Structure 1
Amino acid sequence: MGEFLKARRSRISPQEAGLPATTGRRRTPGLRREEVAMLAGVSIEYYTRLEQGKQSNPSPPVLEAIAEVLRLDEDERGHLFELANAPTVKPNAARPPQQVRAEVRRLLEIVRPYPAYALSRANDLLAANEAGMRLLPGIEEWPVALRNTARYTFLHPQGKRVYGNWDEVAAATVAHLRAVAGTYPNAPDVVSLVGELVVKSQEFATLWERYDVRKRTNGRKCFQHPAVGPMTLSYEVLTVARSEGHRLVVYQAEPGTPDHDAMLLLEMAEVSG
């Protein structure tokens, strides 16, 4: 929680927080601890203990006040509450089953020819229809245990080439993993993936230190696909019932558009890594 609070307050200027402008250079970017404490109505000693991890179980009104000062959005506010009240290891933090129910696999086939795949909470690729697998060229060459959309984005040779908006996709991927890490503290699958990416990708490590938090529910990706050419697809993320953290991602495009035509070609395309 301390890391999150420090990262957030470094991004809020005194003027944004409603404080009068000051002359001279500030050694601390953004708000100082004492300024956050004053605006939130708590003592500086109390707020300092929060950032140092020495104060446990802050009350909801205190968290709400701090969230207001730091201008946290809905996802960030929820993340703060999870960090503040989560035990060291949650009961459901253990690695969940990776099997996908037959009904979910059937759904992947029902939505064809739209690309779709099922992901674990740590972005492991658990199942996909034909178009969904071909949407990520080269990932099928990896062993099943390594197939992971975050790992693909940062470590696969095709990752940077296939996403026309790679910077946006990469930032959203890291922000999602931050949200998952808040929900499942010390979950081995999440900790292992983050540790690997921090070591192997400087770009991931830099984004991880920004401490952005965002749950992925929908969005768009611009593909420069080696087999079917450029296309921009929107996606929706659906929660899978009775599966800890599993979700279904379905891509689509407006019928009659070049994007839709290119998407339909995925099932027939020959894709190589």
Structure 2
Amino acid sequence: MDRHADLGEFLRSRRARLRPADVGLVDYGGRRRVPGLRREELARLAGVSVGYYTRLEQGQSPNASDAVLDAIARVLRLDDTERSHLYALARPAVAASRRGTRPERLRSEVGVLVESLGAVPALVLGRRADVLAWNRMAHALLAGHLDFTAPRRPAGRPNWARMFFLEPHVRDLFTDWERKARDTVADLRLIAGRHPHDTRLAALVGELTTRSADFAALWAAHPVRGCAHHTRTYRHPVVGRLTLTDELLQLPDDEGQRLVVFSAEPGSASEAALRLLGGLAAGSAESDPPASRPTQPAR
């Protein structure tokens, strides 16, 4: 990914969403060539020269000070997540490392934890949105059409972003697909800003941009937002509609990896549907031939 191009795209997208009146400028009417704030208007409000801001937006000022970035963030009304993203894009990135090419590993202790959460769906996402592990419940909820053992094979791991945008089965699962799509891209944008030299992540973005018009449009809009928790309604092909809350928990010893756990409101119809799904998932596990049953935590 081109960090300099991403910086310019991000700043232009944030300028475009503001009107002069939003920042206290008088709009004398007439036709504006660009939507939102002009470069010179933003530069004046931030207290920098137009030339300097233009170079920053073009990725030619890699050593912008905290004061300048804070001033720009203030004028653009960036929230905390967007401000952190601005810093990640504007500052020189560390040299590329082997982490940009090698598959992620899952600690065996985390694999055991996921399996132990058998009563609720649980999975682990890597920083590239690869599914590193899931229990039977998460597999039955999200991807029962896939091989349960797929996350154990680094070359064939399911990728959540790829599944979400390219597989009709997953798309049909969400009643609020558009909102979920924006959240997925916003989260991936944030991750990409933190890992500009990750070649596997860049390849994923390139693939999705080429193969999904929905992804390409959302990526161009440059949404930025981290995922922490959501409540969504699912349209499951077997147990019907159910409303679940998902919590995304950062794994502190595994950079970028997150544990995702789903739960239903106690006593609700969704909880009953989740129990039914659990029974079906358990039955599926019992019907597996011995050679395909898990014998050790995923790695």
TM-score range normalised by the length of the shorter chain: over 0.9
SS of the residue corresponding to residue 158 of structure 1 reads helix
Q: Structure 1 residue 93: deviation in Å?
A: 4.9
Q: Deviations over 1:130-185 (max 9, x none)?
A: 10111113451496525111111100121221011111111000001100010000
Letter of the 1:123 partner, please give it: A
1:221 aligns with 2:227: no
Match for residue 191 of structure 1?
202
Moved more, 189-198 or 90-99: 90-99
Q: Structure 1 residue 91: deviation in Å?
A: 4.4
- Determine which structure has more spread, i.e. the larger CA radius of gyration: 2
Please give the alpha-carbon distance, in whole angstroms, between the structure 2 residues aligned to 1:218 and 1:131: 19
Q: Structure 1 residue 259: deviation in Å?
A: 1.4
Q: Structure 1 residue 262: deviation in Å?
A: 1.3
1:122 aligns with 2:128: yes
Letter of the 1:70 partner, please give it: L
- The aligned length equals 272
Please give the alpha-carbon distance, in whole angstroms, between the structure 1 residues aligned to 2:171 and 2:100: 32
Instruction: Pick the aligned partner of 1:163 from 174, 177, 188.
Output: 174
Residue correspondence of structure 1 range 32-181 to structure 2 within 5 A:
32-87=38-93, 89-91=95-97, 93-95=99-101, 97-141=103-147, 144=151, 145-181=156-192
Q: Deviations over 1:88-127 (max 9, x none)?
A: 6454752455232221112112322110100110110110
How well do the aligned residues superpose, as a CA RMSD in angstroms?
2.0
Q: Retained in 2: the 8 A contact 1:228–1:269?
A: no
Q: Retained in 2: the 8 A contact 1:176–1:213?
A: yes
Please give the alpha-carbon distance, in whole angstroms, between the structure 1 residues aligned to 2:92 and 2:147: 38
Match for residue 259 of structure 1?
270
Letter of the 2:65 partner, please give it: S
Match for residue 23 of structure 1?
29
SS of the residue corresponding to residue 241 of structure 2 reads strand
Letter of the 2:34 partner, please give it: T
Q: Deviations over 1:183-231 (max 9, x none)?
A: 0002012101101100100000000000011111111222000011101
Q: Deviations over 1:16-64 (max 9, x none)?
A: 1111122112111000000000110100010000111111110001000
Please give the alpha-carbon distance, in whole angstroms, between the structure 2 residues aligned to 1:28 and 1:5: 13
Q: TM-score, normalised by structure 2?
A: 0.86
Which has the larger share of helix? 2
Q: Structure 1 residue 265: deviation in Å?
A: 1.9
Q: Which runs of 5+ in 1 are unaligned?
A: none
Q: Which runs of 5+ in 2 are unaligned?
A: 1-6, 285-299
SS of the residue corresponding to residue 15 of structure 1 reads helix
Shift in CA distance, 96/118, structure 1 to aligned 2, threshold 3 Å: farther
Please give the alpha-carbon distance, in whole angstroms, between the structure 2 residues aligned to 1:92 and 1:218: 31
Match for residue 211 of structure 1?
222
Moved more, 31-40 or 91-100: 91-100
Shift in CA distance, 40/32, structure 1 to aligned 2, threshold 3 Å: same
Letter of the 2:201 partner, please give it: V
Q: Retained in 1: the 8 A contact 2:100–2:198?
A: yes
Shift in CA distance, 93/178, structure 1 to aligned 2, threshold 3 Å: farther
Please give the alpha-carbon distance, in whole angstroms, between the structure 1 residues aligned to 2:256 and 2:227: 12
Letter of the 1:122 partner, please give it: R
Please give the alpha-carbon distance, in whole angstroms, between the structure 2 residues aligned to 1:252 and 1:93: 33
Please give the alpha-carbon distance, in whole angstroms, between the structure 2 residues aligned to 1:225 and 1:7: 36
SS of the residue corresponding to residue 221 of structure 1 reads strand
